[in-house]
Amino acid sequence: VRAADAQKAVIDVKRVGKKIGIVPTMGALHDGHLSLVEASVSECDYTVVTIFVNPIQFGPHEDLTKYPRDLDKDHRSLERCGVDLVFAPTPDEIYAPRHSTYVSPPSVADRLEGVLRPGHFQGVATIVLKLFNIIPADVAYFGQKDYQQSRVVVDMVADLNLPISIQVCPTLREHDGLAMSSRNVYLSPHERQRATGLSEALNRAAGMFRDGEGRTRIIIEEMRKRLYAAGVRKIEYVEIVDPVTLEPLDEATPFSIALIAAYVGKTRLIDNMRLG
């Protein structure tokens, strides 16, 4: 469906008092995505899933062209979940030739991913606001997997007084702890093995905190050791931060978030966990 038609359909549903949920995704759907969809289907009367690989949130040397895409399979999965509308626009439909308006993201976008992926969160904030305007939903579902992204969206919604509530859902993991991600298909069997180092390091951090270690310097040092031991050598960051501001902490609390970004081979992976 076209943007204007999707918008009209949703406005019609809204008019009769139904609660509308939106789940924004880039497709290549896995069970992590589907857990957000299930939350929406169970809590809302009408669920819209958007599938759009947003070109403006990719850097010039990132994986935009080879990002996994499988629209037919995605449609079949979403049908089984009882989704009411799938909105999968083309880039031209979202970004007209003269498109030139962008959202300047909130300050939580300035650290971590924002430093390593300049412009990424401007791209995210812009597409999320556009999708919220096309699909005027009551609730939007995001994953904790992209923790900083969820913080950017929550702060944007507050700062711009958007009439939508944001629900952040837990990270779904494979049996060995690896956070589900569309990008996991890039991993060779050997890399797939090494990739478990991220969740191992995060679990170790939570374990150390549980056992009484509060000094983030010590915890981070141990996390780095774990990553190295697992064969994850290209670490971009390992941090323990305040859950709201994402500022680094000297002393951890149960609410602190440990975050990792690292390359396994050519694949960039991120993961995070609350310490307490």
Provide the mask over 151-180, with x wherever binding to ligand AMP is found by CB under 6 A and - wherever it is not.
------------------x-xx------xx
- Find the shortest distance in angstroms from Cβ 201 to ligand AMP: 17
Eight-class DSSP state of 63: S
- Taking alpha carbons only, the member of 177, 168, 175 closest to residue 204 is 177
Active-site option among 33, 61, 120, 175: 33
Cβ neighbours for 158, distance < 8 A, ≥ 6 positions apart: none
Q: Are 145 and 171 in contact (CB under 8 A)?
A: yes
Nearer to ligand AMP, 156 or 172 (CB): 172
Catalytic residue flag (residue 33): yes
Q: Is 256 in the site for ligand AMP (CB under 6 A)?
A: no
Q: Which of residues 1-30 bind ligand AMP (CB under 6 A)?
A: 25-26
Nearer to ligand AMP, 52 or 220 (CB): 52
Task: Report how far residue 72's alpha carbon sits from residue 51's, in angstroms, rounded to the nearest whole number.
Answer: 12
Q: Where are the alpha helices (DSSP H) in the chain?
A: 3-15, 31-43, 71-81, 91-94, 113-116, 120-134, 147-159, 189-194, 196-210, 216-229
Q: Is 125 in the site for ligand AMP (CB under 6 A)?
A: no
- Find the shortest distance in angstroms from Cβ 213 to ligand AMP: 27
- Taking alpha carbons only, the member of 8, 265, 240 closest to residue 112 is 240
Q: Which of residues 178-217 bind ligand AMP (CB under 6 A)?
A: 179-182
- Give contact residues for ligand AMP (rule: CB under 6 A): 25-26, 32-33, 35-36, 142-143, 145-146, 169, 171-172, 179-182
